[in-house]
């Protein structure tokens, strides 16, 4: 693959994916959900119509438009409509709590919010709280949506820039301090990953892709959504993962591609194996990403699907793809494959002088590396070097050209493909008046990680685990909520007062 030639062929904006598809195969189905189906020509018209509606509401080039929803025709259409106005799409999962959404909104200061109220009950609740008005586009069947009030003091960011400098999407991830960080991904970032990932999977117009990965997550946005549409495939949209339903769609609607996080594959296997397995002979490509993949699940999944389970590695800041196992050379071990074309990497040693160790922190550089963190120049400078190297914070090694992720420098927990930062969960616990302090760790389970919380109460205070669970549930998205809460007389600490989290790991067994 000639990477320079590929980059030169990329359009200037992500919405060109739709207009290009409308010209090449106007009557081919682009999006299908339970309630409706749109061809590429219909989708292109819907994007134009919604862009005009957003412009009439006051959206300008360089504005942030907050898209609060779950996978649906409305969400995909809004993503491209925002691009068509040269605005930024701030994609947020409707399953986030009001506290989390408000923190993102306070940081990004979006011009307006768009809610996929028909496709998501959670989005409808957020819209109602925010006083958004529900409407529909009479000429275009994208389903009901809601628009919030316009923030008249929201400022425009620079716009009309080249593809590699213009922000297309703002994806929020929470840092170790508990404060939200907005990852700015350019049009070229996303188009590059869409083009390369679809080429490596050999996606074509005959493919039917089960789109259940949240489009609010960069894995679902760039690789699944944009990559599939870039290649002219059909996206079969699902707002949430349900094992019974997913199996039926994969089988009865003859899906050819299924990308999921390890927990999705594990739940499908657990659900269908006692029922005689899953007969989905049209599946040709099954992929696992977003979380570490253990060999037990890999073996079980390959027996279950009857095809190799491909694996890869990435992060929000790399749009996300860094490496993939190859279609013709699936890994037999835990490798996440070779680097994708156009991306280079280096291993920064952690070993002391005199030690021999080929493991170190992974740094990557290429057209997939983010523009930076929104309104955080200091954090950007600490994460991306002056010559473009992204410090991933992950421990890795190379063997025979394949990348192996060994561990994480940070205490990040990855649950069902979503990042959970202990500091954020601890902050929710520590806001309770009875809590002195807390510590959160992760524990590996098959195909996933659990979030475990340990709490020390203030002297004289009384509260039980159930009450604490209710407290944090109101402040955290479901995937961030601990599966176990233990109240201890005292958290183990060092002489300096630092919590010794490795000791908590032994208490969790």
Q: How far apart are CA 156 and CA 128, in angstroms?
A: 26
Identify whether the C-beta of residue 76 lies closer than 8 Å to the C-beta of residue 84. no
- Mean residue pLDDT of the chain comes to 92
Beta-carbon neighbour count of residue 401 at 10 Å? 9
Please tell me the predicted confidence (pLDDT) of residue 168. Answer: 98
Looking at per-residue pLDDT, the higher value among 405 and 412 belongs to 405
Place of tokens 């959206």: 59
* Ramachandran region, residue 406 (left: φ > 0; alpha: ψ -120 to 50; beta: rest): alpha
H helical segments located in 391-489? 422-430, 465-473
Residue 395 has pLDDT above 50, yes or no: yes
What mean pLDDT do residues 148-159 have?
97
* Per-residue confidence band for 113, with pLDDT thresholds at 50, 70 and 90: very high
Collect all residues with Cβ–Cβ distance below 8 Å to 47 and sequence separation of at least 6. Answer: 15, 18, 77, 80, 81, 84
Identify whether the C-beta of residue 284 lies closer than 8 Å to the C-beta of residue 256. yes
Collect all residues with Cβ–Cβ distance below 8 Å to 71 and sequence separation of at least 6. Answer: 33, 119, 211, 212, 214, 215, 220, 237, 238, 239
Q: Which segment of 11-15, 208-212, 387-391, 457-461 scores lowest on mean pLDDT?
A: 457-461
Q: Which of 381, 369, 377, 509 is nearest to 441 (CA)?
A: 509
Please tell me the predicted confidence (pLDDT) of residue 353. Answer: 43
Please tell me the predicted confidence (pLDDT) of residue 297. Answer: 86
Collect all residues with Cβ–Cβ distance below 8 Å to 370 and sequence separation of at least 6. Answer: 183, 184, 185, 186, 189, 316, 317, 318, 319, 384, 390
Q: Which residues of 136-173 are buried (b: 16+ CB within 10 A; e: fewer)?
A: ebeebebbebbbbeebeebeebeeeeebbebbbbbbbb
Q: How far apart are CA 158 and CA 49, in angstroms?
A: 24
Residue 276 has pLDDT above 70, yes or no: yes
Q: At what angle do helices 422-430 and 465-473 cross, to 10 degrees?
A: 110
Q: Which tokens belong to 489?
A: 């007389």
Please tell me the predicted confidence (pLDDT) of residue 420. Answer: 82
What mean pLDDT do residues 146-156 have?
97
Place of tokens 């990042």: 419
Give the pTM. Answer: 0.86
Please tell me the predicted confidence (pLDDT) of residue 491. Answer: 87
Tell me: the pLDDT tens digits for 84-104?
999 999 999 999 999 989 999
Radius of gyration from C-alpha coordinates of the chain: 22
Instruction: Write down all domains in the chain, each with its CATH number in brackets.
Output: 1-192 (3.40.50.980), 338-410 (2.30.38.10), 413-507 (3.30.300.30)
Looking at per-residue pLDDT, the higher value among 66 and 333 belongs to 66
Identify whether the C-beta of residue 32 lies closer than 8 Å to the C-beta of residue 42. no
What mean pLDDT do residues 284-306 have?
89
Please tell me the predicted confidence (pLDDT) of residue 498. Answer: 59
The pairing of strands 112-115 and 145-147 is antiparallel
* Per-residue confidence band for 371, with pLDDT thresholds at 50, 70 and 90: very high
* Ramachandran region, residue 232 (left: φ > 0; alpha: ψ -120 to 50; beta: rest): left
What mean pLDDT do residues 333-337 have?
93
H helical segments located in 2-97? 3-9, 16-24, 40-57, 73-84
Tell me: the pLDDT tens digits for 34-57?
999 999 999 999 999 999 999 999
């Amino acid at each position: 693959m000639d990477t320079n030639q590929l980059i030169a062929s990329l359009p200037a904006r992500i919405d060109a994916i739709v207009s290009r598809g409308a010209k090449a195969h106007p009557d081919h189905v682009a999006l299908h959900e339970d309630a409706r189906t749109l061809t590429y020509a219909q989708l292109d018209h819907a994007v134009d119509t919604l862009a005009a509606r957003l412009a009439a509401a006051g959206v300008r080039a360089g504005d942030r438009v907050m898209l609060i929803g779950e996978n649906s025709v409305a969400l995909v259409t809004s993503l491209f409509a925002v691009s068509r106005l040269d605005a930024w799409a701030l994609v947020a999962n409707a399953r986030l709590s009001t506290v989390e959404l408000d923190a993102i909104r306070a940081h990004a200061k979006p011009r307006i919010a768009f809610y996929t109220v028909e496709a998501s009950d959670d989005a409808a609740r957020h819209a109602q709280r925010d006083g958004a008005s529900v409407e529909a586009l009479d000429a275009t069947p994208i389903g009901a949506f809601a628009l919030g009030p316009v923030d008249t003091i929201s400022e425009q960011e620079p716009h009309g820039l080249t593809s590699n400098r213009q922000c297309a999407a703002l994806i929020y991830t929470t840092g170790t301090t508990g404060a939200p960080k907005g990852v700015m991904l350019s049009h070229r970032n996303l188009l590059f990953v869409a083009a390369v990932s679809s080429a490596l999977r050999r996606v074509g117009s005959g493919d039917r892709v089960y789109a259940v990965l949240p489009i609010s997550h960069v894995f679902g946005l760039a690789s699944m959504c944009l990559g599939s549409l870039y290649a002219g495939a059909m996206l079969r949209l699902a707002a949430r993962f349900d094992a019974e339903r997913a199996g039926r769609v994969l089988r009865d609607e003859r899906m050819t591609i299924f990308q999921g996080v390890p927990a999705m594959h594990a739940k499908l296997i657990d659900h269908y194996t006692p029922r005689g397995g899953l007969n989905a002979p049209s599946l040709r490509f099954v992929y696992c990403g977003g979380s570490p993949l253990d060999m037990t699940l890999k073996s079980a999944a390959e027996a279950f699907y009857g095809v190799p389970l491909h694996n890869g590695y990435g992060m929000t800041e790399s749009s996300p793809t860094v490496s993939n196992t190859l279609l013709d050379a699936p890994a037999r071990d835990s490798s996440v494959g070779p680097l994708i074309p156009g991306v280079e990497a280096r291993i920064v040693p952690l070993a002391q002088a005199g030690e021999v160790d080929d493991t170190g922190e992974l740094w990557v550089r290429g057209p997939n590396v983010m523009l930076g963190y929104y309104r955080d120049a200091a954090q950007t400078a600490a994460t991306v070097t002056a010559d473009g190297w992204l410090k991933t914070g992950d421990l890795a090694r190379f063997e025979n050209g394949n990348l192996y992720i060994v561990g994480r420098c940070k205490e990040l927990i990855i649950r069902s493909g979503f990042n959970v930062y202990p500091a954020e969960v601890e902050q929710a616990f520590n806001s309770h008046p009875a809590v002195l302090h807390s510590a959160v760790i992760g524990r590996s389970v098959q195909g996933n990680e659990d979030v475990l919380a340990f709490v020390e109460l203030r002297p004289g205070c009384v509260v039980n685990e159930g009450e604490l669970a209710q407290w944090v549930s109101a402040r955290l998205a479901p995937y961030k909520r601990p599966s176990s809460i233990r109240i201890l007389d005292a958290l183990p600490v060092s002489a300096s007062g630092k919590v010794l989290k490795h000791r908590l790991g032994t208490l969790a067994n």
